[in-house]
Amino acid sequence: MFRRYSIQLILVVGGGLLTYVAYEELLNLYTLSVLMFMGVNIILSTSLNLVNGNMGEFSCGHAGFMCVGAYVSSILGVWLFTKDKVFGAPILDPEWALYAFPFIILAGGVAAALAGLLVAIPSYKTRGDYLAIITIAANYIVISAIENIGSIGGSRGFMGMKKVVNAMGDVVDLPWMPIWVFIFTIFCVWIIRRYVSSTFGKGVNAICQDEVAAEIMSVNTNKIKTVTFMLSSGLAGIGGGLFAYIIGYVNPGSFNILKSTEVLVMVYLGGMASLSGAVLSAVIFTIMLEALRPLQIIKWVVIPLLLIIVMQFRPEGIMGNKELSDIFPWMKRFYRFK
Residues engaged in binding another protein (CB under 8 A): 191, 194-195, 198-203, 205-206, 209-210, 212-222, 227, 231, 321
3-state secondary structure 295-333: HHHHHHHHHHHHHHHHHHHCCCCCCCCCCHHHHCHHHHH
Nearer to another protein, 148 or 220 (CB): 220
Nearer to another protein, 5 or 200 (CB): 200
The gap from C-alpha 129 to its chain's centroid, in whole angstroms, comes to 23
Nearer to another protein, 77 or 109 (CB): 109
Nearer to another protein, 54 or 59 (CB): 54
Q: Are 157 and 142 in contact (CB under 8 A)?
A: no
What is the smallest separation between the CB atom of 37 and another protein, expressed in angstroms?
26
What is the smallest separation between the CB atom of 180 and another protein, expressed in angstroms?
20
What is the smallest separation between the CB atom of 125 and another protein, expressed in angstroms?
13
What is the smallest separation between the CB atom of 137 and another protein, expressed in angstroms?
27
3-state SS, residue 256:
coil
Nearer to another protein, 160 or 201 (CB): 201
Element (H, E) at 158: strand 158-159
What is the smallest separation between the CB atom of 201 and another protein, expressed in angstroms?
6
What is the smallest separation between the CB atom of 148 and another protein, expressed in angstroms?
34
What is the smallest separation between the CB atom of 5 and another protein, expressed in angstroms?
16
If you ran DSSP here, which 8-state letter would residue 159 be given?
E
Cβ neighbourhood burial of 121 (10 Å; 0-12, 13-18, 19+): middle
Q: How far is CA 280 from CA 45, 191, 323, in A?
A: 10, 17, 11
3-state SS, residue 148:
coil
Nearer to another protein, 140 or 195 (CB): 195
Closest alpha carbon to 266 in 238, 287, 242, 252: 287
Nearer to another protein, 148 or 209 (CB): 209
Cβ neighbourhood burial of 52 (10 Å; 0-12, 13-18, 19+): buried
